Amino acid sequence: MKTTADYIDALRVKLNVDSDFKAMNALGVKHRQQVSEWRQLHGGFSEDLSVRVAEALEIDPAEVLLAMEIQREKNDKVRSIWERIASNMHYATAAVLVLAVVLAPALPDNLSAFDLAGLEESGDAVYYVK
C-alpha cells in the first residue's frame, strides 16, 4: 500500500515542483515540520487532506483514505484488516473494469435505442410505469 511519502512524491511530479513543502503547500499545508513528519511516515494525512491529495492526483479518494488508515494503525491485527479491505477494493475495481471491457461491445452505439418512454421521475427516485 502507498504511504504519505509515495503520495508526496506523486504530487511533486504532478505539480512539477522541486520540494515536498511546495507540493503540500499547494494543497494548503502550511507547516514544514508536518510535511517532514509525513516524509518519515509519522502519522498520516487527515481525511480532508487525503481527499484533496486524491483530487490533485486524480485518483479515488478511497485509496488515499485507506492508505492513511493502514499507515497510522499501530495494531498489527487491525492493520492487516485494513490491508485486506484495500486489497478487496482493488479486486472489485479490477472486476468492474473487466466487465466494462467485456460488455462494452454489446451496448448499442446509440443509447436512445433503449425505450425510456415508460419512465417517470418523482423526487430522487425513477419509477417504471407499465
Q: What's the full length of the chain, in residues?
A: 130
| Domain endpoint, select from 72, 100, 119 | 72
Answer whether residue 96 is part of any domain: yes
* CA–CA dist 51, 59 (Å, integer): 9
Which range of residues forms the domain containing residue 115?
A: 84-130
Q: Which of 28-42, 80-94, 116-130 has the lowest mean pLDDT?
A: 116-130
The answer on 95 and 63 residing in a single domain is no
* CA–CA dist 35, 4 (Å, integer): 9
Report pLDDT for 74. 87
For the cut 80, the answer to whether the pLDDT of residue 110 exceeds it is no
Answer whether residue 79 is part of any domain: no
**pTM for this entry:** 0.67
The answer on 109 and 56 residing in a single domain is no
Mean pLDDT of 76-103: 76
The answer on 90 and 45 residing in a single domain is no
Question: Could you read off the pLDDT of 18-47 as tens digits, one per residue?
Answer: 999 999 999 999 999 999 999 999 999 999
Axis crossing angle, helix 32-39 with helix 4-15, rounded to the nearest 10 = 120
Question: Could you read off the pLDDT of 48-80 as tens digits, one per residue?
Answer: 999 999 999 999 999 999 999 889 988 889 888
* Amino acid letter, residue 45: F
Answer whether residue 51 is part of any domain: yes
